[in-house]
Amino acid sequence: MATPIKLAVVFYSSTGTITEIAKELHDAGVKAGAEVRLLKVAELAPQAAIDSNPAWAANHAAIASLPEATPADVEWADAVIFGTPTRFGNVSSQLKQFIDTLGGLWAEGKLANKVYSGFVSTATEHAGHESTLLALYNSNHHFGGITVTPGFTDPHKFIDGNPYGTSHADGQGTKPVGEVTRIAAGIQAARVVQIAGALRAAA
């Protein structure tokens, strides 16, 4: 491809699981030939809350140097993959707050016709994988975006079992991101880049 697809991986992570998946998506996007920006969203929680959880404090420090996402990054991108831990089966307030800043671009029609996808983490196996991704995708419909999910387009997807996007249950911090989740992220990133490229070629 003469001009690489521009992919933004925009995420919120508290204790680091989403950070690990975001990095995997970034690397897989680069491998697929995309120009990729890895971007965190702003933390809204008070420092005292962060400091009260060692894993949260460690991740907060580890990603301190990552750039914060801006609406300009979404405008730049051909495709955006949003990531969030589940919060009561829904999108985290930090990621939602960022999405809410995109109203100006939406009003100008600048969010339409881009590819959007998502990834999520939960504490337990049935704690909102699907509901959180479906809630996240509601915004894409309002944008006029093209929601691209991994589906069951690869045999490995029958192992992780989530056609809506990459997801991981971390067992309250006892189950780190492993091979199954990393393979799922690779499939998702490659598909997002592929479909974004096909849409651009057809335009």
- Asked whether residue 67 is assigned to any structural domain, the reply reads yes
What pLDDT, on the 0 to 100 scale, is given for residue 37? 98
Cβ–Cβ under 8 Å, residues 7 and 34: yes
- Structural domain boundaries, residue 13: 6-202
- Asked whether residue 83 is assigned to any structural domain, the reply reads yes
Q: Does 3 have pLDDT greater than 70?
A: yes
Cβ–Cβ under 8 Å, residues 160 and 130: no
- Asked whether residue 110 is assigned to any structural domain, the reply reads yes
Residue 42, CA atoms < 13 Å, CB-side half-sphere:
9
CATH number for the domain spanning 52: value is 3.40.50.360
- Asked whether residue 105 is assigned to any structural domain, the reply reads yes
Q: Does 1 have pLDDT greater than 90?
A: no
Q: Measuring CA to CA, which residue among 71, 80, 102, 77 is closest to residue 148? A: 80
What pLDDT, on the 0 to 100 scale, is given for residue 172? 85
| Residue written as token pair 């944008």 | 143
- Asked whether residue 141 is assigned to any structural domain, the reply reads yes
Q: Does 2 have pLDDT greater than 90?
A: no
For the stretch 19-53, pLDDT in tens is 999 999 999 999 999 999 999 999 999 999 999 99
88: buried, middle or exposed (CB in 10 Å: 19+, 13-18, 0-12)?
exposed
Give 84's strand partners.
120
Phi-psi region of 171 (alpha: psi -120 to 50; beta: other; left: phi over 0): left
- Asked whether residue 40 is assigned to any structural domain, the reply reads yes
- How distant, in Å, are the alpha carbons of 62, 86, 171, 195 from that of 74? 24, 22, 32, 17
- Asked whether residue 1 is assigned to any structural domain, the reply reads no
Domains held by the chain: number: 1
